[in-house]
Structure 1
Amino acid sequence: MEMLGAVDRFGYAGVATIVFVESFGIPAPGETAIIAAAAYAGRGHFNIFAVAVTAFLAAAVGDSVGYWIGRRGGRPLLTRFGRYVRLTPPRLEKFEAFMTRHGPKMVVVARFVEGLRQFNGVVAGTTRMPFPRFLLWNVLGAALWVGCWSTVGYFAGNHLEEITTTISRYLVVAIAAAVVLLLAYIWNRRRRRRAKI
């Protein structure tokens, strides 16, 4: 696994840098870096708690930087430079619509979705979600995300690639099911409100 070599060379600083830059909008393999570092910890090269804390802080701070980029620069900044990091205007509109409707829940769920994860903070800032609320849910999402992938990497042993592929596949299914259930719940609630009027 190529990432294992990079993590072995740069250690905790490498993990922190990769996760940090990914969290404020630059496409980088943050998830893979956490899994690789945790796998090394499982083999005795790193301390698993240090890996988890490093990745957690990098994720939470990176997303917060993204939030302030979105808050200060706003939509014009994203429209102008978004294409360089695969954030096209149609994709931005979808993110903004989701964030406006489901704000805090999206901050947590986006952590586990490739593409959403990178622009989570930026879009939250652009849509002017209050920072204390964003920070609370951002910290929760970062803790769950880092905890999940650190655990996977640590216990994976020599089956690291098989396990991450399987978990990624089922995680996407689980998240999709959760989103469908959430939307069904919201639709049902609105229908009941209209029936009462």
Structure 2
Amino acid sequence: MTEYLFGLVTDYGVWVIFASTFLSCLLVPMPSSLMMLASGAMAAVGDMVLWQVAASAFAGAVLGDQSGYQIGRRAGAGLHRLTKGSHSRQQLLERAHTTVDKHGGIGVFLSTWLFAPLGPWVNMVAGATRLSWPRFTLWDTLGETIWVTIYVGLGFAFSTSFSAVGEILSNAIGFVTSLAAAIALGAWLLHRAKRAKKHT
């Protein structure tokens, strides 16, 4: 996988980085984080230019998020069709709704880097719920700046062991997302228990 990623970046340069971050923000399964790590590592050894790598990753991510927001704005009611027949997707969509409803712009910000698996869903839900576009854009841009800086920066700093760094980061993000889901579920169950107690 590592050699394949290096080969893609070597053959297509910043365009493949742009495409990977753009598509990953539109629910297309792409190893965008690993692509950024790989390109950061190649910039460290002089095969690529660091600012071009960062700029292409950032542009792809922001444009992908903006596209997701516009999709949600135009077809908000149809979002539930995307989750039909997939329990995991239904859960992600419900969490995205909760994130936007409770936290608004901060939720968008955190979904771009800390809770990355929620990101594409949050973008579409933000559009569907008519979250202000300037507010969405502000928080999204700030979040994507952090996401790109973390992965490209770590690839650049740890160019000799970027695959190990990628695995550690992937596990950490998975843990944080699972923890957030568990906390949200606990809060929901507590709320339901209080309501049931009140009615009885």
- Measured in 2, the distance between the counterparts of 1:173 and 1:82 equals 23
- Measured in 1, the distance between the counterparts of 2:111 and 2:86 equals 17
Are 1:57 and 2:59 an aligned pair? Answer: yes
In the other structure, the counterpart of 1:105 is 106
- Measured in 1, the distance between the counterparts of 2:116 and 2:44 equals 25
Aligned AA (2:74): R
- The alpha carbon displacement at 1:152 in A equals 0.5
- The alpha carbon displacement at 1:150 in A equals 0.8
Give the counterpart of 2:22 among 20, 23, 47.
20
Q: Taking structure 1 as reference, are residues 29 and 101 closer, same or farther at Cα in structure 2, changes over 3 Å only? A: same
- The alpha carbon displacement at 1:120 in A equals 2.8
Aligned AA (2:15): A
TM-score (norm 2): 0.79
In the other structure, the counterpart of 1:88 is 89
Q: Taking structure 1 as reference, are residues 87 and 17 closer, same or farther at Cα in structure 2, changes over 3 Å only? A: farther
- Measured in 1, the distance between the counterparts of 2:86 and 2:12 equals 25
Give the counterpart of 2:157 among 155, 158, 161.
155
TM-score (norm 1): 0.81
- Measured in 1, the distance between the counterparts of 2:48 and 2:140 equals 26
1:159-170 equivalences under 5 Å are 159-170=161-172
Runs of 4 or more above 6 Å deviation: 84-87, 174-180
- Measured in 1, the distance between the counterparts of 2:28 and 2:34 equals 15
Aligned AA (1:124): A
Structure 2, gaps ≥5 residues long = 188-200
- Give yes or no for contact 1:24–1:121 (8 Å, CA) kept in 2: no
Structure 1, gaps ≥5 residues long = 185-197
- Measured in 1, the distance between the counterparts of 2:166 and 2:111 equals 18
- Measured in 1, the distance between the counterparts of 2:170 and 2:95 equals 23
In the other structure, the counterpart of 2:38 is 36
- The alpha carbon displacement at 1:164 in A equals 2.1
TM-align CA RMSD: 2.7
